[in-house]
Structure 1
Amino acid sequence: MLTAGLPRDARLRRPGDFAALRTNSGRAGGRCFHLRFRDNDLGHARLGLAISKRVSKRAVERNRIKRLLRESFRRVRHQLPAVDMMVMAREQAAGVPGAELLIELDGLWKKLLASHAAAPEPLKRAGQTTTIER
């Protein structure tokens, strides 16, 4: 049976995957989110989430943000390049309505597509860091 959820192979699950994104990765940001990304050899995009208690003390609010992030990624993941990415929420994300968060996430995915298309191929393979201005 086919489900509409996010499959296991589309998620970052190992601590080493998250650590690699912290050390050598490209960056993009917005008002509510910060994105770190790097190329992978899997042929598809993978998502990792880092939503800390600093964003909101209430688990209900953090879970709402995670649900919105997963849904937004699920909709565009087939259009994204083969990258591992980690999305971190900023403190401002807690009070923002869901529709506005989805609009900002769409902008982040577009920044990712634009930066990946603009980077020269040798730099992509070498794992060089790319920073996208806000």
Structure 2
Amino acid sequence: MRAAALPRDARLRRAADFAALRNVSGRLGGRCFLVRFGNNSADTARLGLAISKRCSKRAVDRNRIKRLAREVFRRARPDLPSVDILVMARDCAVEATGAALLAELDTLLRRIKPLKPEGADGTIAR
């Protein structure tokens, strides 16, 4: 089980990292998820989850969505560029089946490309 675990360096842990993604990042949206992403200085992709009580009042529902999101990230991580990813769930994620959530999030993660570095063409990528 340890080999499948999400290592500490693959998770967003600081509030500043989450805030940076909310303010300056790329966005992808689906029916059940909103994904924000931005370049990082680490050599690997990192995941942050923001599944709020607005999505569901029941902790069991929120934890199910988090488990599914971490599983998709574990599978996709070797193919992802060095980006920070913030996954936020919409209200409809609670009613969706596990297979539908896995498929949608996998599709969104495959669409992530690194943002243009700052100053590449004289503009700031934000």
In the TM superposition, what are the counterparts of 1:54-93 in structure 2 within 5 Å? Answer: 54-93=54-93
Please state how far the C-alpha of 1:110 moved relative to its aligned partner. 1.8
Task: Calculate percent identity across the aligned residue pairs.
Answer: 61
* Whole-angstrom distance in 2 between the partners of 1:70 and 1:110: 15
Structure with greater contact order relative to length (CA < 8 Å, sep ≥ 6): 1
Secondary structure at the counterpart of residue 27 of structure 2: strand
Give me the TM-score of the superposition, normalised by structure 1.
0.86
- Give the partner amino acid of 1:125: P
CA distance in 1: counterparts of 2:10 and 2:55, whole angstroms:
24
Hey, what does 1:132 align to over in structure 2?
A: none
SS for the counterpart of 2:78 is coil
Matches of 1:6 and 1:81, distance apart in 2: 17
Q: Which runs of 5+ in 1 are unaligned?
A: 130-134
- Aligned CA RMSD, in angstroms, stands at 1.5
Aligned length: 121
2 CA distance for matches of 1:14 and 1:91?
A: 25
| Structure 1: distance between partners of 2:2 and 2:26 | 33
**Runs of at least 5 residues in structure 2 that lack an aligned partner in the other structure:** 119-123
Q: How far did 1:2 drift? A: 4.8
Matches within 5 A, 1:11-90: 11-90=11-90
TM-score, normalised to structure 2, is: 0.91
Moved over 6 A (4+): none
2:94 aligns with: 94
